[in-house]
Structure 1
Amino acid sequence: MATRRHRWPKTRDGIEDAALLILEWLAEQGVNALLRVDAERLAEGRPAWTFAASSGPLPHGIRADGATADQCLSRALAELRAAGITVPI
């Protein structure tokens, strides 16, 4: 499958700008993925952002949480790399 690197934005302030492209790329690899923000956890002062992925080439489901979208996605990318999937950002 062709990589769409020409669409990837230059990231200056974090990876939030690339979130939708990361999700799209994962779907193209057969991975089910989501990025979620939970208003209740935010109000309680807990990490409100969650990334979850499963299926495709993943040997097991993964989850990453963070206080910000950037923190959550950074942790998610580390989890994906540990599972053998390197997202081309």
Structure 2
Amino acid sequence: MAKGIERRPVVDLESRVEDATLLILEWLGEQGLDAMIRVDSERMRDGQPPWTFTASGGPLDGGMRADGASAAECMGRALIGLREAGLVVPF
């Protein structure tokens, strides 16, 4: 890979992950993580990705954050980040 080029995993926007978001959050809580998803109207007005997922604690070293233009994109990126941190979410 060339230096300075960031390659981001592709998010599956057709996975319907947003339908399972509450179950995912509940499962994360059962694993000892604090997690939430939110929408920020100011970021939406500014044309930035308004959806944010955050998680911390439990088996994560430090916290993590994922942003997206939709709930599906945000949660898709969150699942990728959680898997990269070694936490395999059953979804």
Give TM-score scaled by structure 1 length.
Answer: 0.84
* Mapping for residues 49-68 of structure 1, pairs under 5 Å: 49-68=51-70
Instruction: Give SS of 2:22's match.
Output: helix
Which residue is 1:29 aligned to? Answer: 31
Letter in 2 for 1:33: A
The structure 1 segments of at least 4 consecutive aligned residues displaced by more than 3 Å after TM superposition are none
Distance 1:55 1:36 in 2: 18
Q: CA RMSD in A?
A: 1.1
Letter in 2 for 1:54: S
Letter in 2 for 1:84: G
Give TM-score scaled by structure 2 length.
Answer: 0.82
Letter in 2 for 1:57: P
Letter in 2 for 1:47: P
Tell me the number of residue pairs that the alignment of Structure 1 and Structure 2 aligns: 78
Distance 2:35 2:59 in 1: 12
Identify the range of structure 1 (23-32 vs 40-49) with the bigger mean alpha-carbon deviation: 40-49
Q: CA deviation at 1:13?
A: 5.6
Q: What are structure 2's unaligned runs of at least 5 residues?
A: 1-13
